Amino acid sequence: MTNMWEATVEAQIRSAQERGEFDNLPGAGKPIPGRNQPYDESWWIKSFMEREKLPSELLLPTPLQLRRKIERVPHDVRDLPTEQAVRAFCAVLNAEVMAWLRMPTGPKVVVRPVNVDEVVRRWRDERQAAAARPTPPPATGSASTPRRAWLPWRRRTAA
């Protein structure tokens, strides 16, 4: 049975080659990626994440993901418009931390909720420092004067 199956498959491959269906395939003549590297049993997940442009942080256990989120809090709240928005952001993050603390999984890593008042204080200080910086005066000269766009219906008429 297997010989008949193999013969049928070989015949189909030969037929496709004769029709030229394997000519000019993408990657033809190029080396196989990772051929000279040691075998990695998780190659498929790495290639999937690279192809789909997913962050590698998704592979981290939950407590490490939470620690990374906590480390990024000052950067993440920097552009939030109001104190209420900063507090809401911290509340969502703290809810994630508390949910993990109730049912911890993964490695034993210390994860503590964010101190909301401290985050808000830093956010305010950063805003005040940005407001206190002097704004540079506008540049003068011909380079900064806007030019009017040439439009065909604005042709000059000869007098």
pLDDT band, very low/low/confident/very high, at 156 (cuts 50, 70, 90): low
What is the chain's mean pLDDT, rounded?
A: 85
> Which of 103, 106, 109 has its CA nearest to residue 61?
106
pLDDT more than 90, % of the chain: 47
The pLDDT value given to residue 92: 97
**Rounded distance between C-alpha atoms, residue 60 and residue 62, angstroms:** 6
Task: Give me the residue spans of the domains in the chain.
Answer: 60-131
Is-above-0.85 flag for pTM? no
- What sign does the CA torsion over 148, 154, 158, 159 have? negative
